[in-house]
Chains A and B, each alone.
Chain A
Amino acid sequence: MTTKTPSKLEKILAEGHLAVTSEVGPPRGSDPKHIEEKGRLIKNHVDAINITDNQTSVTRMCSLAACIRLKLMGLEPVLQMVTRDRNRIALQSDILGAASYDIHNILCLSGDHQSFGDCANGQNVHDIDSMQLIQTVRRMRDEGKFLGGADIDRPPRMFVGAAENPFADPFEIRVPRLAKKIAAGVEFIQTQCIYNLDKFELWIKLARERGLTEKVHILAGVTPMKSVGMARYMKNRVPGMDVPDDVIKRMAGVPKEKQPQEGIDICVETIERLKAVEGVHGFHIMAIEWEEKVAEIVERAGLFPRPVVEN
């Protein structure tokens, strides 16, 4: 399988390895050390690191700056970009900014509504949506053109990704939506974190039947739970999250001090089960504010050491 960009993530997937990515949330301030510390914690256990973009609409250091910092440390960033806050001029502009630092991975998202965050009274932009952003990046890369039609000097060479949520409603369009993103030009997908394995396997089976798993690399999202409280919160308060009752029961069934470990065990077991599912090409481990556990998860899941690829 050939690659279209210098992206290390793309190369690992092209060579048929199971990829491992993780994510880091930037600080609510301008101190770069948070990014540096977290990057160092996980760098040997992942192939690429996502930097979130003002997640839940809470204002943080921008993803672009944090990605540049990771790149300067010699790590492989994935620039997450939401369409909530920037119009098409700013989006294209930031893509070029990232490309000028040779950032080769981008994840195109809509973004949580601003009412969830610290500026609930602000405007939102949504000039284009996440699917149109996918098309935009592909056009900039493959045709070397701006949306307006002019040529780009040194076009971005980015591996284009998006998120998909097999657990959001309505279920019947979740596979057509994946097909739509593939038609728009997406090359890798990171899913919402998986606790309902039956539903996920159904989704990916339907995708397989349509031949979609051969057209896109799907990385299964996993998140270790720290406590039964966190599990319940995710079940009841986070839209689009599917946490089955027996997972809650399992977390509740151990004493409080043992729950973090139980959460990690569940996470590792999830990865083990998903490794056997056809169409799963890797894992996206979201352990926000618990990055120190990424190493354990990757090692116990038999995904360490990470493959080394030629640059």
Chain B
Amino acid sequence: MRLSYPSSIKIIRVPCTGKVDILHILRAFEKGADGVYAVGCMEGDCHFNSGNFRARKRVEQAKKLLETVGVGGERVQMFNLSSAEGPRFAEYAREMDQRIRDLGPSPIKLAMKKAA
């Protein structure tokens, strides 16, 4: 569709969001990511049955942990759409980009910079 979305977004493609492990999310933040989000199929329409439900649970778990350790649960999010919805994908990308800009850089990133 050649719609544009913010260049701050780095895409990692997986066959299903069910493949995303909570450890992937945590390690991303450990390495300095300011935000992480997963985009999966509409609930009830998962191409592989229930992978997106598992992803949602893992995102929730990550949210809690990130909140507890002071990184901030709002930096991680789950989105659902159908693979035909190009405009919505761009919309979510913009939404997440804006949210993270408002939150500022991840405290981990700041602390790592300071330590260096």
Q: Is there a contact between chains A and B in the complex with CB atoms less than 8 Å apart?
A: no
Chain A interface (Cβ < 8 Å from any Cβ of B): none
Chain B interface (Cβ < 8 Å from any Cβ of A): none
